[in-house]
Amino acid sequence: MKLYEKLADEIETSIRQGVFRHGEKLPSVRQMGLQRRLSVATVVRAYILLESRGVVTSRPQSGYFVNSQDPTGDGRIPELRPSRPLPVSRPVDVSRLVLSTLRSIGVDDAVPLGSPYPDPHLFPFDKLNRYAYDAGRGKAIWGVTDALPPGNVRLMRQIARRYIENGMPIDPNEIVITVGATEAINLCLQAVAKPGDTIAVESPTFYAMLHAIERLGMKAIEVATHPDSGIDVDALAEVIASHSIAACMVMPNFQNPLGFLVPDANKRAFMDLVTAHDIPVIENGVYNELYYGDTYPTTLKSFDTKGLVLHCGTFSKSLTVAYRIGWALPGRYRDHVEKLKFLNTLTSPTIPQIAIAEFLERDGYEHHLRRVRKTYAQQANMMRAIVSRFFPTGTRMSRPAGGYVLWVELPESVDSLRLYKLALEQGITIGPGYMFSIFEESYRNFIRLNYSSPWTDEIEQAVITVGKLAALCMRG
């Protein structure tokens, strides 16, 4: 446990015990630092962490005060409002903006608040690389047949075991190993729809989903999505009634960029609707392992009775970004997806598959995940607290239940593309809201922030700077 976390826990315990009463002012940052022989930065982080937990409240020019009522969360942070996009089917064209944004992440060591990737500092690269080296030495020449679809048998068995351990029995023979989740999504979409077809997506939605639709010459239609409960089933029913929908593409667990966890009742209602209309569903489950709660989330596939759900996963978000190993559970479309995998890319790299299988068999994957989840949950609280304190009045934000991104709604006068350019001039990247919709103006005053990097003074100052730049944008 870090010093600021320990201090925060001690102060919270004191509040629970009545040492500090509700409404009472805490010692100043400097005073607390002198009392505990800690740096000012450590005390500030502890107070911000307490604020993110809803235990204390900051008052400008006055200090930190114990909340006047028992803390029940972080309700003082304004939450997002549900989106209401127009149900219009149209071609997709977001790839250029996304590509330029991704390229900017590596420019001059920019602070990667706009990155879609998890920071790799928590990942066990050394162990995985040793397993990969041993796998390469174990067989001098790997033939093409070793990498043909559906994939490495050991890895497929471990993936199946992981699902079973989390309460979702699957047949290992359904699994098709892919080059990351991106390929899995593309293959699944190609298996259920053709060029010109219309695909229903959430609004906002992760741009990788839009890329797949764009690449295959299809159209997208955005469906109203609640920031806490996910896609609006009634709105989807209206879309299905008025449009010919070839498939749905959704991310029910810790959606990028909103971070919500769809309640089980909503998942059942969604599956009842698509099952009644026999509409296939591509379920993006890449963040499923990164939950902040006590248990692994249910999936749409666990409520699927007809094989309509094509579930996609990856190790890139939870174990290693470098190896690009994902998979698909395509239900009734399994054979078609395997054939498309063979026709599109022929194989998936063998050695990375073996290395990951070895790690899953021999090392503490669950222990590793608990560490990652705890870190991301803490950093989500830190990010929300900093945004709440330093961004312009009227700012709203999501409440992530997992993953590592925060969706921020800025005042309407802020153009996120202008903010993106100003931030880049300061060596900071952000994700402008334009990337998450087929309509350019839908999320013009929204940004996505990545909080997976270690929480440092540099990261904290970068977030504060973005808040100041947002205020500058408001002034014209």
Angle ∠(238,249,79) on CA atoms, nearest 5: 75
**Residue 310: helix, strand or coil by DSSP?**
strand
**CATH 1.10.10.10, the chain: domain bounds:** 3-66
Element (H, E) at 376: helix 365-390
CA 33 from chain centre, in angstroms, equals 36
* pLDDT at site 379: 92
Q: Which CATH class is domain 93-120+369-474?
A: alpha beta
How far apart (Å, rounded) are the C-alpha atoms in residues 193 and 244?
12
How far apart (Å, rounded) are the C-alpha atoms in residues 425 and 89?
36
How far apart (Å, rounded) are the C-alpha atoms in residues 349 and 337?
18
How far apart (Å, rounded) are the C-alpha atoms in residues 459 and 450?
10
Q: Over pLDDT 70: what percentage of the chain? A: 93
| CATH number for region 3-66 | 1.10.10.10
Question: pLDDT tens-digit profile of 93-123?
Answer: 777 767 776 676 655 578 999 999 999 999 9
Question: pLDDT tens-digit profile of 12-60?
Answer: 887 776 667 777 888 898 888 887 889 988 999 999 888 888 888 888 7
- Structure tokens of 438? 């087929």
A 10 A CB-CB count for 338 gives 22
* pLDDT at site 298: 96
Residue indicated by tokens 């071609």: 91
Q: Tell me how far apart the terminal alpha carbons of the chain are, to the nearest angstrom.
A: 44
How far apart (Å, rounded) are the C-alpha atoms in residues 139 and 166?
34
427: left (phi over 0), alpha (psi -120 to 50) or beta: left
The DSSP secondary-structure symbol of 202 reads E
* pLDDT at site 16: 72
**CATH 3.90.1150.10, the chain: domain bounds:** 93-120+369-474
Domain 125-365 has CATH 3.10.150.10: no
* pLDDT at site 280: 98
* pLDDT at site 411: 95
pLDDT band at residue 68, thresholds of 50, 70 and 90?
low
